[in-house]
Structure 1
Amino acid sequence: ENAAGGRGITGKITIDLLRAGVSVITTGDHIWDQKEILSFIDTEPRLLRPVNYPAGAPGSGSILLETPKGKIGVINVQARTFMQPILENPFRAVEAAVTKMRSETANIIVDAHGETTSEKIALGRFLDGKVSAVIGTHTHVQTADEQIFPGGTAFLCDAGMCGPVNSILGRAIDPIMNRFISNLPASFPVAGGEVRLRGALIEIDEATGRAVRITRVDEPGPSSPATAEAEPKIDIEQAPSPEQT
């Protein structure tokens, strides 16, 4: 959601990402940072804003995609704890969106955009068995709690950031440190140097909508040097359900 120099997203960047192969762009509390998005978002349904904005807000919080293996839904929801603006109840909003979408497909991915681990875990547990995956975003820091809940929903509390590694949440280090030390206002430019792509790879049984495997992704970006020794990846695999055995 912060593809525009660390502050929101623009129409041009949206189009560039979609042309590069991105299927859907989810966002969060920075969706309106670039004011042009207020008028642009209704022209591009693949750019989502949180589903729990009040009725009448521009854009949509969900989308149903057609793929060679069938339909897959994506829902974007924003948590409330320590978040601004405080939107409608995310549990009720995402529940309504999931109920509507399940009439079309069992394959549903939810982006839970929020500050606290507890609220995102609660959303994941709330949706267990109702969606294929709940992936948290917002903090810029990838968590190591990838798992598949008993009902078949894959979960990761935070997918992490796609951006510069030698930084503080993607921003240049010195200005951030000086702000903490001095309490004086400052600008925070985006850091340079090595970048990494972080996220999650999820395998779904499209017949049931249950997640089969979730793998945390942490790869060097195209402009950064390959690391000498990459951290081993851990696959979390769901045990077969009784009907699969």
Structure 2
Amino acid sequence: MNILFVGDVFGSPGRHIVREHLPHVLETHAVDLLIINGENSAGGFGITPSIAEELFDLGAHVITTGNHIWDKKEIVEYMTVPANSHVRGRRVLRPANFAHGTPGFGLYEGELGNGTKYAVMNMQGRVFMASSDDPFRKADELLTMIERNTNAKVILLDFHAEATSEKAALGWYLDGRVTAVLGTHTHVPTADERLLHHGTAYQTDVGMSGPFDSIIGVETELVLKRFLTGMPGKFEAAKGNPKMCATLISCDGATGRAHHIQRIMLGE
């Protein structure tokens, strides 16, 4: 089976470029499972219910997020649903290692039309980021839960983290236990996609789906001013040269073992 993961959708340019390219990518690669990171899809900061609905309408099975998940307060109610709910809000994930009692869920277990069971986990790093629970131990906990609940073999983890070493460490830690560990957050696609020794596909960062004539999505002048003066200011999403960054993974649907990983970058 084929899995497509679309990297951080940044603002309206990101939504536009994904909407432009996604249909033919899904068809060309016969994608069975689509996951989109949408945490920056609302003006570069957060996600709204209407934008989540837009991404689901494009075919997303699950939407992952990260540290900007609460930037748009209206998403909280959208995600506050029962664990066994089938409404779309249940399929918007926030990092599973956020504090206990945080709204929403960090794990979604589903089943495709052909009967293949799958699970998507969302986690946030701890190095150079806000405090959260141990992602390594939390991954162990979620894998035990998956085995007990659905015994899904196709399992993908979106690891939203800053430090490349932490991402690589979690990839090796989970090698052979999940189908893929894909990094997000830094918005720059890395050229280290590979299959680890025991069948886990890994990439340090999938990259950003958004304006590449920018500083990781933000208008260059605004970021340069902060670096040069140290003065705070409001960041705004850039618009120039949008590109869609994604990663395609092929795996055995029965075992979850990955056998191919490919970077994708498409522009206007």
* Alignment TM-score, normalising by the size of structure 2: 0.80
Q: Deviations over 1:1-48 (max 9, x none)?
A: 110101111111111111121111101111111112222212411100
CA drift of 1:54 comes to 2.6
**2:229 counterpart of 1:182:** yes
Higher relative contact order (CA 8 A, sep 6+): 2
Equivalent position of 1:49 in the other structure: 94
Structure 2 unmatched runs, 5+: 1-38, 82-88
**2:60 counterpart of 1:14:** no
Matches within 5 A, 1:191-230: 191-220=238-267, 224=268
**Contact preservation (8 Å) 2:46, 2:72:** yes
| Residue in structure 2 matching 1:67, options 91, 112, 120 | 112
Matches within 5 A, 1:23-42: 23-42=61-80
Q: Deviations over 1:200-236 (max 9, x none)?
A: 000011121100100011111xxx2xxxxxxxxxxxx
Q: Which runs of 4+ in 1 moved over 3 A?
A: none
Equivalent position of 1:148 in the other structure: 195
**Contact preservation (8 Å) 2:214, 2:240:** no
> Percent same amino acid among aligned pairs?
45
CA drift of 1:55 comes to 2.6
**Contact preservation (8 Å) 2:211, 2:243:** yes
* Alignment TM-score, normalising by the size of structure 1: 0.87
Which structure dedicates a bigger proportion of its chain to helix? 2
Equivalent position of 1:157 in the other structure: 204
| Residue in structure 2 matching 1:93, options 125, 138, 147 | 138
| Aligned equivalents of 2:178, 2:48: Cα separation in 1 | 30
Aligned CA-pair RMSD: 1.1
CA drift of 1:133 comes to 0.3
Larger Rg: 1
